[in-house]
Amino acid sequence: MRYFTQDGSRLIWRNNGETLIISPWGPDSMRVQSVLMGEIRDDRWALLDQQPTEAVLDIRDESASITVGKLTARITMDDWHHYATLSFYNQKAELLLRETAPANALSLRSRKFEPHLGGDFTLTVTFEGRDGESIRGMGQYQEETLDWKGSTLELAHRNSQASVPFYISSLGYGFLWHNPAIGEVSFGVNRTTWRAYSTKQMDYYITAGDTPAEISRHYAEATGFPPEMPEYGLGFWQCKLRYWNQEQLLNVAREYKRRNLPIDVIVCDFFHWPKMGDYRFDPEFFPDPAAMVRELQDMGIQLMVSVWPQVALTSENYEEMRQQGLLVRAEYGEQVGMRFVEDSMFYDATNPRARKYVWEKCKKNYWDAGVRIFWLDEAEPEYGTYDFKNYRYFLGSSQQVGNIYPRCYAQGFFEGMRESGMDRPVNLLRCAWAGSQRYGALIWSGDIMSRWEDFRRQVCAGLSMGYAGIPWWTTDIGGFHGGRPESPEFRELLVRWFQWGCYCPVMRLHGDRRPVEKVFRRDGTEVLSSGSGNEIWSCGEEAELILEKYLRRREELRDYIRDLMHTAHLQGTPLLRAMAYEFPEDEACAGLKDQYMFGSRYLVAPVLYAGLRRRDVMLPAGCSWRNVDTGETYAGGRKVTLPAPLDRIPVLERI
């Protein structure tokens, strides 16, 4: 029997209704697809077009292999079950990854298609566990973890959780689960198990490389490089929940300029609109948006405006969008996706017509007034119950395709802004999936608490996003929920968070500070409240002086950050680099999660606990290190204890 065939550069295996195809997909990279009872679909959820790549195939009766540069895939047939098992090797013939075997009498399947009667499949794909392997990446999860070995992760988006299913293994390969279905992955000791709760086929991408940076470049070649960061992305962004009228926002910008403080962006947050889904300023509170933008631009400040994908049932656009099929649809019950301030449903970002409709509204009411940056909030999207089975998109059920929503959301604005004449749009989003980076997505870590434990988790989240191919990343400095400017405890947290924010890809101050300020219309109707002050002078003189110091340091780093951003644009290399990413051969760096490299030059050791005034720092071997504040130098290859008074965090320059 003929199990194996060759189709151009593709290797194909067929048996008992299953078709398995391995295709070259760029340097040292392959795409692996399988379908039961059907033909392979070329769904481009994240992958770009196949790059011309030479492949060497070797086909025999009971086995076959395909080699693409440094990566070889071998398919072997089990004598008992006549089942194909895949193994992947590097150029040294070292095993990288292998599917679990049928295990004789156990009759296991490494690719299990479990049918939904009358529908598609629940898919489970399993690989052997490997001793000593570290798994890093996978997007943003609110855990104080960098190595996911031994962990189980939900493959779904939530507020502050972004599932980006690409990881880099310490064994020298990268793996993308190229499937936007809701599911989970378990990186167990004995096996790795991927599961999609509802899907049509199996689809993943694997690449080999000698360093994490090489793997990052291959992945970016396959899924897209981020655009160049505009100049305003290098400086400081001022934000709070929320500047609720035009004069208040302008007065804050004027005060920054009066104090001669550097600022690149100021943000107009949510509910500046009459109703969610109107996609325009409320004229009572923002009577002349174009004049506001002009004054800001004269000060050298860009205005970023919040956009939500929710469309309230009372919005002026709701009935037209419902009639035109531009909204997400609930399978059962009320057509309501979220209840916040009032009932609403999300627009369907997977629908090209819906993307065009929303962009045209935003172009007319924001872009034409001079706005050039958008804050695309609620990008998961944030359903009131996260009942993924109950929603349907243009591209399919949320259960099958829901994780692609934030990528499509970014795509709509990126393409609209490009068509409107902007060369390199970059917009802020609260979520991402594989490929989001090519649509100018700058991700922030969501509505996290103003607590030290949340601060520590954000350091890990930013490093994991870098591993997962998302280099533009930021966080709400000080945390989002809570934080009282008069509290000494919060002031210390804010100072430490702000110092770390200076060494993040984008430095952005945001939060919902307590107590709230109630807001009313002229007729006495109460609208959404505003938080307390969240400017650098809001927490007292001692804090202000420290925050100003790091604002000015950010300006001093502008040329360096511009170079880092350019490298990310060309190579896909993250700005936030785990120590193991930058020094993969140094075993002392493998488990470090509370210090990192900002590019290749600066080692940053944020202070992550209240009251701490000194901390241990591991200095990688092979180079010397200079303290940027004291000028003191240290030999590498050892641990040192460095002073960390409140007005500084340990930062060392590689020399």
> Where in the sequence numbering do the catalytic residues fall?
377, 380, 447
Closest by CA to 120, choosing from 14, 185, 36, is: 36
Residues in the chain: 655
- DSSP bridge pairs for 481: 449, 512
- Dihedral of alpha carbons 33, 168, 411, 481, sign: positive
3-state helix, strand, coil in the chain (%, to 5): 25, 30, 45
**DSSP result, 17-37:** TEEEEEEE-STTEEEEEEEES
Inter-residue contact 429 to 139 (CB < 8 Å): no
Nearest to 113, CA basis, from 199, 204, 4, 13: 199
Nearest CA among 292, 290, 291, 239 for reference residue 264 = 239
Tell me the C-alpha distance between 230 and 247, whole Å.
Answer: 27
Could you give the CA distance from residue 642 to residue 613 in angstroms, rounded to a whole number? Answer: 9
Q: List strands edge to edge, sheet with 624-627.
A: 576-578, 596-598, 602-604, 651-654, 624-627, 633-635
* Dist CA 246 CA 287 (whole Å): 7
DSSP 8-state class, residue 513: P
Torsion (CA) 443, 445, 446, 452 in degrees, nearest 10 = -160
Which residues, listed in sequence order, are joined to residue 304 by a DSSP beta bridge?
267, 373
401, 395 Cβ separation under 8 angstroms: yes
Q: What is the dihedral of CA 508, 166, 451, 553, to 10 degrees?
A: -30
B/e letters for 531-567, b = 16+ CB within 10 Å, e = fewer, are bbebbbbbbeeebbebbbebbebbbebeeebeebbeb
Cα(408)–Cα(379) distance, rounded to whole angstroms?
9
The DSSP line for 616-654 is EEEEPTTSEEEETTT--EEESSEEEEEE--TT---EEEE
In the 3-class helix/strand/coil scheme, how is 357-401 assigned residue by residue?
Answer: HHHHHHHHHCHHHCCCEEEECCCCCCCCCCCHHHEEECCEEHHHH
50, 29 contact by CB (below 8 A): no
**Is residue 377 a contact partner of residue 333, using CB atoms and an 8 Å limit?**
no
Neighbours of 78 (CB within 10 A): 15
Q: How far apart are the first and last CA of the chain?
A: 63
Residue 152 near residue 185, CB atoms below 8 Å: yes
* Residue 481 DSSP label: B
- Please, which residues have CB within 8 angstroms of residue 268's CB and are 6 or more apart in sequence? 242, 243, 249, 286, 303, 304, 305, 306
